[in-house]
Structure 1
Amino acid sequence: MKYHLSLISVAALALLSACNNNDAPEVVGGPADPMADKLANAAPVELPPMVKESHQYRCKDNSLIFVDFMSDDKTANLRTEKDGAPTKLTAAEAGKPFEGAGYKVEGSGKQITATLPGKSAVSCKG
């Protein structure tokens, strides 16, 4: 009886070792990427600036403006209504006035000077 059990276990091991014996070649590297060279030589991606400070200003003419100063110190978004569409203003370099679409904002922080299209410059406090 012991002889039959050992033959059965040897036969079972032989059958199990034959499982999943696949002769198909294994692909190690995968297909070549047609854009690999372009991606390797591409310029680094610059993320858009995020909001650094948001201020609501009351101007001398009693109007309200809303300005979001961005983290790159060269971009600001100006809104003339709290939930209005923003107008993107840019500065040539950090510390220079933000301008765009007839708008101009000089300064940042608690006090600015704002010029709106068709109006003269006014002082505004936050």
Structure 2
Amino acid sequence: MKSLLALATATAALLPLAACHQPNAQERANASAANEAAAENAAAAAAPLPPVVRAEKSFRCKDNSLAFVTFFEGDTQAVVRDTQEGSPTALTAPAAGQPYVAAGGWTMTGNDRGVMLTRPGKPAVSCHV
């Protein structure tokens, strides 16, 4: 009789757990979206950071034009502007020490003390700080 009473008590205690909340389709979809967002955030955190700016220089060129150049660490990326607030042109080099190039006829060699710059439709010109 005591074992029957103990069984009935245990069943009565577990009965409320059987009625636990079961997520509906919307809740499952929300949980799935949250898991996907967390996975994307983790992947974005693992993405490589852009290179650090090494130097920003304004150059006066032999043809009396100006060039504003941002050099990045690793010496394989640079950004050139014709005016200080002008649109940037990103130039890349396959390896440090090789010429920077961009589509449209842009080429640049040199460093943050002086460059040889070729702009689209213009001859190469020497520029200095």
Flag whether TM exceeds 0.5 (same fold).
yes
Letter in 1 for 2:50: P
What residue is the counterpart of 2:83 in the other structure?
A: 81
The sequence identity of aligned pairs, in percent, is: 41
- Structure 2 CA distance, aligned partners of 1:64 and 1:34? 48
Change beyond 3 A, Cα 1:52–1:34: closer
Where structure 1 has 5 or more consecutive residues not aligned to the other structure, the ranges are 1-22, 25-30
Where structure 2 has 5 or more consecutive residues not aligned to the other structure, the ranges are 1-15, 18-30
What residue is the counterpart of 1:6 in the other structure?
A: none
Letter in 1 for 2:110: G
Q: After the TM superposition, which segments of 4 or more aligned residues of structure 1 sit over 4 Å from their partners?
A: 31-42
Decide which structure has greater helix share: 2
Please say which structure displays the higher CA radius of gyration. 1
Measured on the aligned residues, the alpha-carbon RMSD in Å equals: 3.3
Shift of 1:34: 6.3
Q: How many residues align?
A: 101
Scaled by the length of structure 1, what TM-score is found?
Answer: 0.65
What residue is the counterpart of 1:125 in the other structure?
A: 128
What residue is the counterpart of 1:105 in the other structure?
A: 108
- Structure 2 CA distance, aligned partners of 1:41 and 1:80? 37
- Structure 1 CA distance, aligned partners of 2:57 and 2:126? 14
